[in-house]
């Protein structure tokens, strides 16, 4: 491919590319950018000429990026981030209209901290658009380095030299059940109760490891992969579940369920925040990180 003359390329095309990658369709990209769909289609045609590649292929569910588009995505995202950082330095106002930040976290942290994060962002960075995207410790590092998320909140999993991490605090676990359930007082009673397991695998969780260490095995009657489903699955049943305490307390505050101390000693975990190493000059991202630290550390659920 011939060298591209930057003087002859409309750099707004990169914003169209970003929107197409993230929205997966010309119609949604047009709405996001405040353009007409024909204008987005015309911009895509120009992008295809610039890169000598189709970039996106039509499927029954929208547009699918080509291999070339997936290679370009992190480079273009980084370039646009640099432009936004430069514009943010143009004045003392921290609000950046149209700026989006993606926070990767599991839904237990979203349940516990999401609302407070949004309230603080509305107060300090009112023009910032926040996206919460599901992740966990096994995925967060790759999602950060792949520019799929800007910040992660996970229980570990960050070890790359390309990622920086900061401890938010240590957490533990609480049990949760419907108000009509009698609280188990012994490990044996706890193990024999019908349990709802929250686990990515659907078979084994941290509770099973703790029980196994003292010679018990619990009775798992149902499993789910999402903490958000817990209130609906527990309500008016005899099931009990064991969750990170920050999520259990948040669910208790907003439902008719009750928390209680687990009669089995559970291990603590470290909740940490991650971001890409090269993001230290992004003042908006750094402000968002400060907000997350404040919210998590003032929640009373982490030590």
Long-range CB contact pairs, 139-148, < 8 A, 24+: 139/104, 140/104, 140/274, 141/274, 143/104, 144/104, 144/274, 144/275, 144/276, 145/276, 146/74, 147/73, 147/74, 147/77, 147/78, 147/276, 148/102, 148/104
CATH of the domain at 34: 1.10.10.10
pTM as predicted: 0.76
pLDDT at 3: 63
- CA separation for the pair 251, 258 (Å, rounded): 9
Same domain, residue pair 252 and 217 = yes
Same domain, residue pair 129 and 206 = no
Same domain, residue pair 121 and 229 = no
Angle between helices 107-124 and 245-254 (to 10 degrees): 70
pLDDT at 281: 66
Contact between 196 and 207 under an 8 Å Cβ cutoff? The reply is no
Give the pLDDT of the chain (303 residues) as one tens digit per residue.
456 666 777 888 998 998 898 888 888 888 888 889 999 999 999 999 999 999 999 888 888 999 999 899 888 888 887 787 676 665 544 546 668 899 999 999 999 999 999 999 999 999 899 999 999 998 999 999 888 899 999 998 888 888 999 999 999 999 999 999 999 999 999 999 999 999 877 678 899 999 999 999 999 999 999 999 999 999 999 999 999 999 999 999 999 999 999 999 999 999 999 998 876 667 888 999 999 999 999 999 998
Q: Look at residue 96 and give its three-state secondary structure.
A: coil
Same domain, residue pair 136 and 280 = yes
- The total number of structural domains in the chain stands at 3
pLDDT at 159: 86
Task: Please give the residue range of the domain that contains residue 79.
Answer: 6-88
- CA separation for the pair 34, 263 (Å, rounded): 56
Q: What values do phi and psi take at 238, rounded to 5?
A: -100, 10
pLDDT at 5: 66
Contact between 265 and 144 under an 8 Å Cβ cutoff? The reply is no
pLDDT at 93: 47
Same domain, residue pair 120 and 229 = no
Q: Look at residue 69 and give its three-state secondary structure.
A: helix
Same domain, residue pair 177 and 162 = no
């Amino acid at each position: 491919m011939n060298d591209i003359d930057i003087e002859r390329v409309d750099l707004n095309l990169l914003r169209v590319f970003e929107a197409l990658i993230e929205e997966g369709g010309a119609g949604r990209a047009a709405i996001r950018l405040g353009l007409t769909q024909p204008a987005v289609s015309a911009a895509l045609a120009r992008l295809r000429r610039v890169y000598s590649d189709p970039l996106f292929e039509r499927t029954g569910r929208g547009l699918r990026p080509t291999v070339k588009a997936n290679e370009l995505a992190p480079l273009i995202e980084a370039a646009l981030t640099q432009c936004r950082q430069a514009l943010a330095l143009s004045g003392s106002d921290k609000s950046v209209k149209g700026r989006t930040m993606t926070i990767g976290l599991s839904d237990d942290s979203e349940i516990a901290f999401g609302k407070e994060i949004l309230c603080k962002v509305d107060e300090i960075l009112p023009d910032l658009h926040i996206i919460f995207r599901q992740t966990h410790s096994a995925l967060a590092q790759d999602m950060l380095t792949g520019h799929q998320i800007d910040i992660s909140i996970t229980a570990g999993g960050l070890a790359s030299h390309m990622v920086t991490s900061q401890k938010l605090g240590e957490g533990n676990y609480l049990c949760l059940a419907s108000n009509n359930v009698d609280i188990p007082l012994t490990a044996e009673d706890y193990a024999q109760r019908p349990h709802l397991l929250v686990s990515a695998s659907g078979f084994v969780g941290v509770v099973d490891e703790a029980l196994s260490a003292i010679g018990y095995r619990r009775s798992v009657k149902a499993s789910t992969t999402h903490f958000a489903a817990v209130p609906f699955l527990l309500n008016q049943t005899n099931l009990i579940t064991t969750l990170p305490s920050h999520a259990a307390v948040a669910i208790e505050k907003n439902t008719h369920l009750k928390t209680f101390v687990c009669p089995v000693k559970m291990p603590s975990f470290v909740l940490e925040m991650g971001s890409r190493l090269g993001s230290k000059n992004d003042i908006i991202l750094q402000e968002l990180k400060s907000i997350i630290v404040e919210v998590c550390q003032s929640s009373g659920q982490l030590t």
